[in-house]
Structure 1
Amino acid sequence: MSSRPTRTLVSLTGPAGNLGDALIRRGGLEWALDTSDELVAYVGDAPDVWLRQLGVPTGTRVLRSKRSVARWLWLLATAPRHPVLVFEAGEVPLDRGNVLREVVFLAETLIVRLKRGVVVRPTRGIRAPTNPALWLHARAARLSQIALWRDAASAALAGGGRVVPDIGFGAGVRPGLPACERDELIVSLRGARALPDDAWFAAVRDAAASAGLRIRTVVQVREDETRARELADALGGVFEPWGDTDPVVQEDALRARYDRARLVVSDRMHVLVLAALSGAVPAELVPHPTGKITAAFESIGLRGLSLDAADGDAEAMREFLVGQLGRADEVRGRVAQAADELASVEAEVRATIRAARA
């Protein structure tokens, strides 16, 4: 007599115009693949291209829009014994507007545990913590067999837990070009920030010139495209638009660009993660950095990658950027270790699921 079918549910919401979000959602999906007979994915309002970006396999039951949340809960409640629930990796806002959402997530966790299933929370970071949302989130995390944090501060807010590399570091280490052939300094900044000041531009231009690097601006998040054009104009660099390029093609093109970069300057964490995976040295240089990038890279042993540009000291900024250029071997070593650790975590996730069903 055959055993009853099993079910895994994975949350995969996110905007198709943000390649960093696609990167970490894909990581969570990879942990969920082949863990059950049936795979259910909730993608919110994402378009069809989002499914291609993530590599959602044919045969997955895909739920869309908030109208399908009731269906999602029903599939959880009616799942055979030992279901698997995989939450999204990434940043978790816990401000006062998210209390109801956290109540629902706690209920989902309880349902799965009562069915003797497994709850997996891939690497996350907490933003804007307020109670009772934080309290609810911490309770749900403690009830989950696998609850991971990408920085020590988030783990502390949740009352403890494991700190592991951001799941984006598992996206594949690339050899890229040899150091002697890398000829670009790449810049990608958030469009929502004010333009940097003249001292910042002078520092970036001088650092590139001193190393013999061409400046290129790229777009990893669609809303940053206008900013990338402005930066290229001010830096005398090459602007590479996203335009109408398919997101899957755009991600491949960007990773190829990072393969030939010596230094990548950004205030977007997953720009710097992908850059580091390609062997480029990541650097955050903006006024009043949030600390998110610093914390995520410190968790893999890379410190000193961020500098606050608020004081407008062009020489200090130039020295910072030039100093980063000598860290390529250190970056490669730490990133390789992070990738190995994430592979071990994925193996642990799969072993936990097998043990629950034994």
Structure 2
Amino acid sequence: MKSLAALATAMLAAPVGAQKPPAPAVPNENDAPIAYLLDASSGQVLFERDIDRRFMPASITKVMTTFLAFEWMEEGRIFPEQVYGIRPETFRQWSRKGSTMFLPADARVTVDDLIHGVTTVSANDGAIVLAEGAAGSVEDWVAAMNAKASEIGMANSHFGNPNGWMDEGRTFVTARDLGTLAQAMVTRHPSKYRHFVGASELKYNGIAQRNHDPISGVVRGADGIKTGYTNQAGFGFLGSAQRDGRRLIMVVAGSPGSRERARASRSLIEWGFQEFEGKTLFAPEARIASARVQGGGAPEVGLEAPSGVRISIPKGTNPEVALSLRYEGPLRAPIAQGEQVAELVVAIAGMPEHRVPLVASEEVLDATMLQRVFNAFRSWIT
């Protein structure tokens, strides 16, 4: 991998620009006992404080409900134009209970409106009606939430309901897992994310309500995602912003008040943009390396990162970057084009190591009898 490292070093050796303005500091521990900043464009962790500690997410739970709705829309299981009613018992239990979109007892509401209610005004009633309408019951929807969480790698989280209402601790998450969830949402469903997340207000049933997101409209490039608060959980926020091709995802949790949460959220994400700059190591679909293949029609397969390989480095620095390839090899044919088969390990001096998934650049079929003979002869003479 010497060629990879040499290329990385060459690309980082760019002239330093003008003096940057003073950057905000990372939030102090009193404002945000739990804090996490992830560069979604590179996969790098830029800041972390107690990010594997479990906590109750309160209404941030609704991000999982939103993501599951996006996944089911993609699969054709639900559609934005679908209309759901509200069961009488659901109305009795959830009408005006906590944050609400004021669904009436005779509601005939679209999936589109329900998701906007969930993402914009944290509608507890909307989350329940969406769950019941889409899955048939809250229990089945919650089971699907947990299955989806496991699928995307939320290894230390569990959901007990669709809206984050207090449930004696059955619902818990970590900041790291929330970062994983947000990254999956914005990368898998960018158009749905733009349509449903980050609206400044919701007008429904003759009532206008504003979004309480502390960064959208305040931080340049900010576009969501979700606040949360209960007496037990304190104040938390999962947020994101995009500037100049870089998307940052942040979590603050356990803040003692909404003012502290807002201050911590804004300072953390501004710090990330002002203290780091992005560099491209490999363009999308560029051949990065190759891996040996056993039993295939070709002896090796090219490796690429579909979205390219980007890194964030502290501004004004030229750190040493080491790149290495990881896969269990040799790989066994057949291999499908686009199949994830390896990882590129990126180690930047002074920063946590991170890994970028690599996929096969081309298809490799099982070797024919003649190709097997040729491969055996080639291995004998080399």
User: TM-score scaled by structure 2?
Assistant: 0.24
User: TM-score scaled by structure 1?
Assistant: 0.25
Task: Specify which structure has the bigger relative contact order, considering alpha-carbon pairs within 8 angstroms and separated by 6 or more residues.
Answer: 2
Query: Between Structure 1 and Structure 2, which shows a larger proportion of helix residues?
Result: 1
